[in-house]
């Protein structure tokens, strides 16, 4: 009888997993179950080019739909049919449609959803950026002169602030606990980016957080009303009026459907270095996870398991997970897993910041080139832990520079293997 | 031999292809992509990976 691998999640992680299952020699059934009705698409443009100029809904979707490998044939795509429950011992999934689906192997690729700012106030007029529908809806509200408050200064918050400013909006960026992209870039470059954003017209608010969303009437919040959000109140009591609020305060892993199976779901789903999900008695041979929902050991820094929310993660992890799952289902030995090197980039007002490795885990940061206080003029920084280069970031430098610094990080080796020598 | 095409109107010189398939793609000292339009079948895996990791999907494999 033909066996079936079910892939829960039909975004980039689900697509890359299905492609890599075929590349790993799996010729039996693959069914991919997705929440959104759209085929897998590329999300980085959602806060940048596509938010600036999406065109029609059809044009927007065409611009970001991911091309699929020609070898990825015979895949049963079931879009708009998210998984609501899994029974890993019975090997069955329950779909939102009520249908039950049996599987032999399972790929967890359900990704993330945006976290929300959990303070009192009206909901209407507050946006997040995760799906193409979010971007189309937000774009319609970003007109010249529109007052925009962006809450959160990570990659998405900074990109959205830059895009809205370039569309002529008056933008206030409420940073919250840390500066612009401070966690991945470090304090000094973050301060440089803040100056750059300010020069470009973004009003940056540091050291204060949002404590309340204001309503149109200005006389307090009525939980029963459908008033539109009219701004934010900050922790020092300041009020910032807004026509549009964008919340960019991070994400939450979509793992609720896996509850009750004895998995570690404390932050995403815990896996081993082969992306096999860890059950009560060790790694499961028939369940793997890919993408930013997976928490897996960081072999390069030796700092334990964590989730990696970068664009390259689905492809990197699918290449490891697919052969491990096929081997597990065939009762074969799991191949030695690679240790993927994380990488990321962001484009803000035409300057590109590219990073490699794990700069957020640095104990010490050194300037390798240029001046991080003036990021638009070009700079590179090295990030060290235990005396070893574990990451590098280039800012407004040509890509060959990024390749050069990437090689330095690669040459610095993998902590787990260095320790074993 | 296989053939590829890079759509220069899409290419944004991220350089990810040069990491995945350095025999076929490289970034010059101006940070601009240079590539071999034809490559040996033995490099197909690497080139397919380069296509996957292109953030703007600018690389096309020809028949």
* Domains defined for chain B, CATH in brackets: 2-61 (3.30.70.20)
Q: Does B5 reach chain A within 8 Å, measured CB to CB?
A: no
Sign, Cα dihedral of A179, A184, A187, A193: negative
Q: Which residue of B has its CA nearest to A350?
A: B12
Q: Which of A400, A405, A408 to mutate to test the interface with B (most CBs of B within 10 A)?
A: A400
Is B13 in Cβ contact with A399 (below 8 Å)? yes
Matching residue, tokens 């787990």: A416
Q: Does B15 reach chain A within 8 Å, measured CB to CB?
A: yes
Cβ-nearest to B30 among A69, A398, A403: A398
CA separation for the pair A66, A72 (Å, rounded): 13
**Residue pairs between chains A and B whose CB atoms are closer than 8 Å:** 47
Matching residue, tokens 């399972």: A106
> Which residues have CB under 8 Å from A29's CB, separation 6+?
A2, A3, A4, A5, A74, A76
Is B31 in Cβ contact with A400 (below 8 Å)? yes
pLDDT of residue A223: 54
CA separation for the pair A257, A86 (Å, rounded): 6
**Along chain A (421 residues), what's the average pLDDT of each consecutive run of 10 residues?**
97 98 97 97 97 97 95 95 97 97 98 97 95 98 98 98 98 94 96 97 96 78 70 96 97 98 97 96 96 95 93 97 98 94 95 96 97 96 95 96 95 77 54
Interface confidence, given as ipTM, is 0.94
pLDDT of residue A413: 84
Q: Which of B4, B9, B15 to mutate to test the interface with A (most CBs of A within 10 A)?
A: B15
pLDDT of residue A222: 53
Domains along chain A with CATH numbers: 4-113+251-329 (3.50.50.60), 116-247 (3.50.50.60), 350-420 (3.30.390.30)
Is A69 in Cβ contact with B19 (below 8 Å)? no
> Which residues have CB under 8 Å from A138's CB, separation 6+?
A51, A127, A129, A244, A246
> Dihedral, CA atoms, A124, A129, A135, A139, nearest 10 degrees?
60
Contacts of residues A329-335 at CB distance under 8 Å and 24 or more positions apart, as own/partner, are A329/A3, A329/A5, A329/A104, A329/A105, A329/A285, A329/A286, A334/A274, A334/A276, A335/A274
pLDDT of residue A116: 97
Q: Please identify every stretch of chain B with a pLDDT value under 70, giving residue numbers as ranges.
A: none
Is B55 in Cβ contact with A44 (below 8 Å)? yes
Q: Cβ(A335)–Cβ(A323) under 8 Å? A: yes
pLDDT of residue A25: 97
pLDDT of residue A187: 95
pLDDT of residue A221: 52
Is B55 in Cβ contact with A42 (below 8 Å)? yes
CA separation for the pair B44, B52 (Å, rounded): 12
> Which residues have CB under 8 Å from A281's CB, separation 6+?
none
Q: Which residues of A touch B (CB under 8 A)?
A: 16, 42, 44, 66-67, 69-70, 311-312, 315, 343, 345, 354, 397-403, 406
């Amino acid at each position: 009888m033909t066996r079936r691998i079910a892939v829960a999640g039909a975004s980039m992680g689900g697509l890359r997993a299905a492609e890599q299952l075929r590349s790993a020699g799996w010729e039996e059934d693959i069914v991919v179950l997705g929440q959104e009705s759209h085929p897998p698409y590329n999300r980085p443009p959602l806060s940048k080019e596509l938010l600036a100029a999406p065109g029609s809904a059809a044009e927007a979707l065409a611009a970001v739909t991911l091309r699929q490998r020609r070898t990825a044939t015979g895949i049963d795509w079931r879009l708009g049919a998210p998984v609501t429950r899994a029974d890993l011992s019975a090997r069955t999934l329950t779909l939102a449609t009520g249908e039950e689906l049996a599987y032999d192997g399972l790929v967890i690729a359900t990704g993330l959803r945006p976290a929300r700012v959990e303070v009192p106030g009206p909901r209407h007029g507050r946006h997040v950026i995760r799906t193409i529908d979010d971007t189309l809806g937000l774009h319609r509200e970003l007109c010249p002169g529109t007052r925009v408050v962006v809450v959160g200064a990570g990659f998405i918050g900074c990109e959205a602030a830059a895009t809205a400013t370039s569309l002529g909006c008056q933008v206030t960026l409420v940073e919250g606990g840390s500066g612009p992209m401070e966690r991945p870039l470090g304090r000094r470059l973050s301060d440089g980016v803040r100056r750059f954003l300010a020069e470009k017209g973004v009003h940056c608010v540091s050291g204060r957080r949002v404590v309340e969303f204001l309503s149109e009437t200005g006389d307090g919040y009525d939980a029963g009303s459908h008033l539109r959000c009219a701004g934010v109140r900050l922790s020092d009591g300041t009020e910032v009026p807004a026509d549009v609020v964008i919340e960019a305060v991070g994400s939450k892993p979509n793992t609720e459907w896996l509850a009750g199976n004895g998995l570690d779901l404390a932050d995403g789903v815990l896996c081993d270095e082969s992306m096999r999900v860890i059950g009560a008695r060790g790694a499961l041979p028939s369940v793997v996870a890919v993408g930013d929902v997976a928490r897996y050991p960081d072999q390069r820094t030796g700092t334990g398991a964590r989730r990696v929310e970068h664009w390259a993660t689905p492809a990197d992890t699918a290449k490891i997970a697919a052969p491990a799952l096929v081997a597990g289902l065939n009762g074969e030995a799991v191949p030695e897993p690679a240790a993927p090197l994380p990488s990321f980039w962001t484009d803000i007002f035409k300057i590109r910041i590219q990073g490699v490795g794990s700069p957020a885990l640095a104990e010490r940061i050194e300037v390798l080139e240029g001046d991080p206080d003036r990021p638009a003029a070009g700079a590179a920084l090295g990030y060290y832990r235990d005396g070893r280069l574990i990451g590098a970031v280039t800012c407004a430098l040509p890509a060959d520079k990024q390749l050069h610094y990437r090689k330095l990080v690669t040459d610095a080796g993998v902590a787990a293997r260095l320790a074993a020598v | 031999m296989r053939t590829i095409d890079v759509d220069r109107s899409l290419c944004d010189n991220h350089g990810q292809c040069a990491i995945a398939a350095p025999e076929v793609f490289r970034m010059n000292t101006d940070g601009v992509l240079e590539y071999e339009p034809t490559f040996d079948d033995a490099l197909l895996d690497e080139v397919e990976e380069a296509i996957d990791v292109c953030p703007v999907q600018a690389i096309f494999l020809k028949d």
